[in-house]
Structures are given as structure tokens and as C-alpha cells.
Structure 1
Amino acid sequence: MMNLIATLLLTSAALAGVPGQGLATVLPPEAQQALEQQSAAFIGAPGFTEVDITQSCGDDAFYTPQRFPQSNQTAFRPDADLDALAKAVLLIDCAEGPLPHARYLIRYHLAPVSQAGVAPREYIEVLRFNLGPQRYQDVIRHVEREFWPPESIFGMGPNLAWRFVFGPVQGNRAHVERASRAGLNQTDAAKQDCLGEPCLSASSPTDPADAWRAFTPPTLSAAMFREHNDADLPGPARVAQMLFLNATGGSGQAEPSESASIGQPEMVFRISKNVSGQDSGITGLLHQQGLMDDAVSELWTSLRLSSGSEPEWRRKVVHRAGRQ
């Protein structure tokens, strides 16, 4: 009998990772309505269409041995402990297909729920820009027509945006409650700013050296997932996760900020993958604001990775007026 009960409990926890089969907390009507209104406003922003992510990236496509080498080792899903930030990027690359040359602009907000004991919701927007066409034009500009490579190898796919609302259910830390998608035409994409640089710029942004200080972060937990063609370097999801882990002291658990909101999120990430140069390289930049700190108003963290080199971590601190 005890073995049967244990099996049922494990099965219940594992099913919690399946949409519609999780054991969610029942909220009072007013709290539930407020949560639904906030979620609907975020997901249904102008230009976005709500979608079922499982139609674009179902279980068979997402839970592959290539993406989760340790899958099928427990009764739980392999992403049961995966943070929402990395999961959002993985889901997009699963639904849309990976790109060899891309930039990601990620906005992250953790919103408390107005009910004691109820876990907050994570609101994540990911804009993905395909820089393959720019890289292709850069290459053929210096090559005779007969030697032009196929444009397809530089990556085919639109510029787009996804929005997710994540919440925990039993056995699954980051369960997709709602998702929406928007296409970005070339004009709209060209107007987007990625933390001080045009999002479609095919160059690696640089910052004044005297404003940054190198540092060595605490040891970060290893990735539980693999990304497409990440044998030499981490992929965009892992770079975003590394920055997130460092920002949260290694826990991967953010804390709500009283001065942050969906419109002014506490974390904004820029991830650039193979956007310039001949060698593989990926960079990440994190801007934190709304910090619960009397002296520090903003915190910038950069991470640069290139083949054959150690990760380069740098930080820039912006102090409040008169508090340095």
C-alpha cells in the first residue's frame, strides 16, 4: 500500500508539468480576477496574438535527449527545476527554430500575487532578431558572385517577439500559464533599441573601459540542458541563465521589487550570438534597476564568451545621487 501511495504522489507531481494537469493554488475570486486581468493585459498587448505554445513546441519536440540529456531518470520532467528565463528562450528556439546569428532582448518582471502564501508570477518578453541577413550581406560584399555561399546557412527566420506568464505548479517551477506571439517587420525591428544599441546592428557593442570593473562570480550551477550547436560555447538560454544566476546570488530566485513593474521591469537582458567577426562568440548584458538598495540605483553586468577563452565578467555600478 505504501508503495502504491508513493507511486501516486510521484505521478501526480510529474503530471503537474503538463498543461491543464497541474495542482494549482485556488485563489479567492478577487485575487484571481486581478491576476487574470494583469496577465491578459500583458499577453494581449497590441500586435500580440495569444497562442498555445504546445502547438508550436510540443512535448516530443521540447523534451528531446539532445536538449535534456538527463531526461527519463526520475518521475519528474527534466525541466522541473528550470528557471523561467532560460525556459522562455528554449521554448522560442524550439517553436521557431534556432538561428546561427541572432540578438535577444529579454525583459523580466516578477509580480507578487495579492494573496498570502501564493507564489508570484513571472512576466517575460523575448524579442529575437535575425542578424543572418546582415551577416550574409557583409560576406558577399567582398566576394565574387560565383563564390557566394547559400544565404540559408546564415539563418532563415523572421524578427519576432514572444510573451510568457509563468507560474509554479507542483513538480514544475516554471509552468507556462499563457503565451502570445508577435511578428516584427523590418521597420519595427529597426526601431528597437537593445540597451543602447540598435537591435539589428551587426556589431558587438563596446562600453567605456573606465566605467567597468572585471570580477569573478561565484561558482554557478551547471546547465541541465543543451542548446543547438553549443559544443564550443553556451547558447543564448544558458548565457541569460548565467547572468540571472549571478544576479540572484546563485539561487535563480528573484525577489519582487516595489519600484519595478511590467512596463519598467527590474531586469533587461541583451544576448548577442555570432553577430560580428569570423569566430564564434556570444555576449550577454544585464541591466538591473529598481534595486532595493539605498546607495545603488542601477547595476550593469556583462559577460563575454569566445572559443578557447575563459568567460569575461564585468560590472558597472550606478550610485544614487550623493550616495557613492
Structure 2
Amino acid sequence: MNLFTTLLLAAAALAGTPGQGLATVLPPKAQQAIEQRSAAFIGAPGFAEVDITQSCGDEAFYTRERFPKSGQTAFRPDAGLDALTKAVLLVDCAEAPLPHARYLIRYHLDRVPQAGQGQREYVEVLRFNLGPQRYQDVIRHVEREFWPPESIFGIGPNLAWRFVFGPVQGNRAHVERASRAELNQTDAAKQDCLGMPCLSAASPTDPSDVWRAFTPSTLSAAVYREPNDADLPGPARVAQMLFLSATGGSGQAEPSESASIGQPEMVFRISKNVSGQDSGITGLLHQQGLMDDAVSELWTLLRLSPGSGPEWHRKVVHRAGRQ
């Protein structure tokens, strides 16, 4: 092994280890600002800071099943993966995937003043288990002796994860800090997922006449796999497809001057097998804080079902007097 390869392997290994890697050295004030914002985000009421590697370590995350091309280069297979997609993959790794679930994902890109390389990405993933509702719907119409096992509908709490991602050499989205919270049924029932109750078993409504069909730019292929994604993309891929569409295919978000951690520029709702007998997954993205004089909000809807191609629709909300 030559020296160049050795250095690449060392950098890649460090980049995959929390708290290590060749991170950008920032001015003291910029570093302090990042630490304060990260601490407030991670330490929100109800959240407990955790070491993600204890719930989803390298052996659990970097599997051949998840990353089929793992080991083909000196770098981690997720080295170029965006923070949004990685957050969903990490949650489903740490908690185990659910067959019937809804995700509410909030994304904010924060660029610290006086630190051109000091951007951080703040991602919150709330996951709601709709398996119990689906189970009750099924047994309501079936004789007791024919009831299926409840476990096949998915066992797991309603929960939330928060991640702070930063770039290090060899890793675009390195987890700097993470925290976790569980939501009891009462709190989960109060959560709103872009205009509908997060625990609702209803399918999102069809686009109204203000929505328009469109075809996004070519989207890069996924470098990962998700459980049971042979027929339909999983939640991480649907979120990534919406993110790629919103960023013109680049997967690189731009900072918004009017957005914040509390009012993020992107909010996603992913609904996986939440109603009906057939499989299906839908994704809805709401963008606000746009750097556009005429447009204040963008809504993007993606619907996927077995045997058919993706259906894309978009709704544009113009600023007053600018339509």
C-alpha cells in the first residue's frame, strides 16, 4: 500500500468517527456561536443527548445490505450523502424500520457569520408509528380466530431525533451531536404534519386545481438501499428525491436569510403505507424563506405506487401583488 492510499484511508476512517476528522478550524467567536446554537437545538426540552454510535454503530450502519458498493473506494460509502437523507437512514438504523409510518422532517442550513466554511445543518426527524391504527382497522372486519399477529404491523414508539451535521474532510455530513426524545400518545396526537394530524391514517388528499404536474431535473441514483425497497423507494429516498428536486438536482441547499432553526426553510412529510390495502408512499415538501421577490412558498408533492412511475406536482404561492 503506497503512502497516498494510506493517507486516504486514515482520513476516511477519522471522518467516520464522531468528534474526529479533519474539520475546518474556525475563528473563536464563530466556533462559540456554532456551539451555542447546537447546544440549544440538541438540548431542547424532552430531548436527551445521545451517542449515535451506541444505537447505530459502524457495523450496523455500513452493511452490504444498506450500502451494496461499500469497500470499493478508500472513503465511506456515504461520504457524499446529504445530511437530510443520512438523518432518516440513521433513525431507521437506530430504531429499526416500521412498515406503516409517517415522518415529519425539518431541515435548516445555518451559515455562521465570519466563517465561510462554518455552515452547519440542523435536521429533526419525527417518526410516528401508524401500525397500531392499521392493526385495529384490520381486526375490526375479521373474526377473532383470524386476527393476524399485531407485531407484523410494526412495534415501536413515536419518537424524535435531532442531528447537527458539519463537514469534515472525506465526509460531507458528519454527525457532530445527536439527541432523542419519545412522544407519548397524547403528545403525538397533537403534532401537525403540514396541515394534517401526524397520527392520521388517512392518505394525503389529491392535488387541487392550484397544483401543476411537472417533471424534475434528472435525479442522481441512490448509493444505499432501504428495507423492502424493491418495489417502492423507502422514506429516506423519497425525502432525498424531494430535496434533490428542490435544489435543482445538486443536493446543495442555499442559506436563507429569513429562515432559522425554529422556522426552517424546508419541512417534509413522508407517509409510508398509511392507508388502504395496497402499498404506497407519498412525500410532501414545504419550502419557505425563499430568496425570491415574487414567490413566498413552494409546495412539492411526490406520489409513488407499485407498477407506476413517480407523480410530481407543485404549488406556487406568490407574494402579495407579485403574481
* TM-score interval, smaller chain: over 0.9
Spell out structure 1 runs of 4+ moving beyond 4 A: none
Alignment of 1:12-31 (within 5 A): 12-15=10-13, 16-31=15-30
Residue matched to 1:64: 63
Shift of 1:208: 4.8
1:17–1:169 Cα contact (<8 Å) kept: no
SS of 1:110 mapped into structure 2: strand
Distance of 1:59 and 1:294 partners within structure 2: 45
Residue matched to 2:146: 147
Could you list the per-position Cα deviations for residues 65-119 of structure 1 after superposition, in whole angstroms to 9, with x for gaps in the alignment? 0000000000100000011111000000000000000000000000002233314
1:9 aligns with 2:7: yes
Residue matched to 2:318: 319
Residue matched to 1:118: 117
Could you list the per-position Cα deviations for residues 267-310 of structure 1 after superposition, in whole angstroms to 9, with x for gaps in the alignment? 00000000011111000000000000000000000000000011
SS of 1:299 mapped into structure 2: strand
Alignment of 1:1-324 (within 5 A): 4-15=2-13, 16-324=15-323
SS of 2:105 mapped into structure 1: strand
Task: Name the count of aligned residue pairs.
Answer: 322
SS of 1:41 mapped into structure 2: helix
1:85–1:241 Cα contact (<8 Å) kept: yes
Runs of 5+ unmatched residues, structure 1: none
Q: Give the % identical residues.
A: 86
Moved more, 218-227 or 108-117: 108-117
Distance of 2:318 and 2:156 partners within structure 1: 41
Distance of 2:78 and 2:169 partners within structure 1: 13
Tell me which amino acid in the other structure corresponds to 1:286.
L
Distance of 1:192 and 1:138 partners within structure 2: 22
Tell me which amino acid in the other structure corresponds to 2:70.
S
Tell me which amino acid in the other structure corresponds to 1:90.
L
SS of 1:12 mapped into structure 2: helix
Distance of 1:102 and 1:141 partners within structure 2: 20
Distance of 1:111 and 1:28 partners within structure 2: 16
Tell me which amino acid in the other structure corresponds to 1:312.
E
Runs of 5+ unmatched residues, structure 2: none
Tell me which amino acid in the other structure corresponds to 2:31.
Q
Shift of 1:30: 1.6
SS of 1:210 mapped into structure 2: coil
2:26–2:115 Cα contact (<8 Å) kept: no
2:244–2:251 Cα contact (<8 Å) kept: yes
Moved more, 201-210 or 86-95: 201-210
When normalised by structure 1's length, the TM-score is: 0.98
Could you list the per-position Cα deviations for residues 194-228 of structure 1 after superposition, in whole angstroms to 9, with x for gaps in the alignment? 00000000011115521100111111000000001
Distance of 1:46 and 1:19 partners within structure 2: 24
Moved more, 205-214 or 237-246: 205-214
